[in-house]
Amino acid sequence: MATTTPDRVDHELLAELRRNGRASWAELARLVGLSAPSVQERVRRLEERGYITGWTAVVPPASLGLGVTALVGVVLSEDAEQEHVADLLRDVAAIEDCWLVAGEEDFLVKVRAADVAGLEAILGALQRIKGISRTRTTVVLSTRWEGRTPPGVQAAE
């Protein structure tokens, strides 16, 4: 994991890579005022220190036939072990994200399904997992945005 704090240039690089992960070394260099080899080395160090944990393509779920998104609160039974249930949730392919949360639920998961019947099947599979007492589902009607950096996150000086 991270051992040193990113400086202003690192923060600028991270922000640019979040905006355009396909930017060339030359383009990034121009934006942050360094040479392309220096930028390449900094990005490599950011990867090594855990500030960049992977590279991915963002694909609209609907283009994959996944037209239904739901947030499912998961409540564990009294005798359930959190880590064991988290491992079992990881095996459910329809779960895109999983968070341990404070409140009435223990976990909140985001699931994608082709349609309502698919969502019903996913919920049935979740309810059969040993250690899950009950679920509470909120169906997403539309997505205004996803994956943005929270407001107020700025480069360190």
Predicted pLDDT of residue 19: 87
Confidence (pLDDT) at 146: 86
CATH of domain 61-140: 3.30.70.920
Domain 8-48, CATH: 1.10.10.10
What is the DSSP annotation of 75-127? EE-TT--HHHHHHHHHT-TTEEEEEE-SSS-SEEEEEEESSHHHHHHHHHHHH
Q: Is the dihedral of CA 128, 132, 136, 139 positive or negative?
A: negative
Tell me where in the chain the CATH 3.30.70.920 domain(s) lie.
61-140
Confidence of residue 131 (pLDDT cuts 50, 70, 90): very high
CB 41 within 8 A of CB 10: no
**How confident is the model over 60-102, as pLDDT tens digits?**
999 999 999 999 999 999 999 999 999 999 999 999 999 999 9
Q: Which ranges in the chain are annotated with CATH 1.10.10.10?
A: 8-48
How do residues 112-125 score in pLDDT, each as one tens digit?
999 999 999 999 99
95 neighbors 110 (Cβ within 8 angstroms): yes
